[in-house]
Amino acid sequence: MLSRRPRTPEEQRKADRARARRAALKALRKARLAAGETGVKLSDWEGEFLSSVETRVEKYGRAFRDPEKGAARASLSMLQQVKLKEIGAKARGGKSARRFKQPNRD
């Protein structure tokens, strides 16, 4: 059995960033591929969103700068993740996920 030396905190941070980057790129590509396979026409805005976010993640490792908009180790902000899920749901032919549950007004 091979014994691995423990990672330094800096090595662990680099590995976490790389993992988050790969996951974000995979989710972006998966949403675009799902739309292409099902024949769903994405709006111009949605196509531009996917392209610009993918470019920023590839270039910088993350698609947002403000630390208040998402986790420090995340590649996408919270709102970008929500929009990506909505685009993915549209591409798969399902309903878009609502962000907030409407209160019962009986």
Q: Got the DSSP string for 61-81?
A: SSS---GGGS-TT-SS-HHHH
**Tokens standing for 2?**
């091979």
- Reference 87, options 20, 19, 17, 38; nearest CA is 38
The residue ranges of every structural domain in the chain are 13-92
pTM of the predicted model as reported, rounded to 2 decimal places: 0.75
Give, for all 106 residues of the chain, the pLDDT tens digit.
566 777 899 999 899 989 999 999 999 999 999 999 998 888 999 999 999 999 999 998 888 888 888 887 888 999 999 999 999 999 888 765 555 566 666 5
Question: Which residue shows structure tokens 């014994």?
Answer: 3
